[in-house]
Amino acid sequence: MKKGKLLIISGPSGVGKTTIVRDLLKIDGIVKSVSATTRERRHQETDGRDYYFYTKKQFQKGLEKGKFLEYAEIFDNLYGTPREPVEDAVKNGKVVILEIDVQGANSIRKLGLDHFSIFVLPPNIDELNRRLTKRHSESPQDAERRLKIAKDEISQKDLYNACVVNDDVSRAVAEIKDILIKDGIL
């Protein structure tokens, strides 16, 4: 059986991580870790598929019991990676995608877990700003705040094993697949 691996996919809000991950999931042997969050569910999201939606109290209880590999507070909401399903999938030889922010990736690094990390970049800041303001779930203030945080996250891209610019989703997915094959992950 092929050895499983954690695959961290990070990048600023609005860069297209979720779309890229959906395409990567079409590759045999790749699964996605479903994150937990305390934020409000968006209209198109399904509990257990897109996220596990918790109350702050439920999330805190999980933290106390060591149920998360990592967690972070972002925009007054908690996000975390449930430990057990990730560990089970890796043991079963799967490449497990963790679609997490820079804070979460840093937490995984500190744990010393075997992983490979890819940072997804926008073509440029103007395009990222356009994507953020186009989102119906974003107020102009939220988009502005996310853009400021995006610049900080981009400054940490060198902590990742590879960086991919998402100016075209199919091209970005193909580039990621090539990187994973070259590094023996696929």
Domain ranges of the chain: 5-182
pLDDT, position 58:
97
170: which 2 tokens?
A: 């199919």
pTM of the predicted structure, to 2 decimals = 0.86
pLDDT, position 136:
58
Query: Any idea which residue has 């395009």 for tokens?
Result: 127
What does the DSSP assignment read for 115-154? EEEEEEE-S-HHHHHHHHHH-TT--HHHHHHHHHHHHHHH
Q: Which of 116, 121, 109, 108 is nearest to 150 (CA)?
A: 121
37: which 2 tokens?
A: 């969050």
Reply yes or no on whether the pLDDT at 137 is more than 90: no
- pLDDT tens string 110-131: 998 899 999 999 999 999 888 8
The whole-chain average pLDDT of the chain stands at 92
- pLDDT tens string 170-182: 999 999 999 999 9
Edge-to-edge order in the sheet of strand 5-10: 30-32, 95-99, 5-10, 115-121, 162-165
Domain spanning 5-182: CATH 2.40.160.10: no
pLDDT, position 147:
83
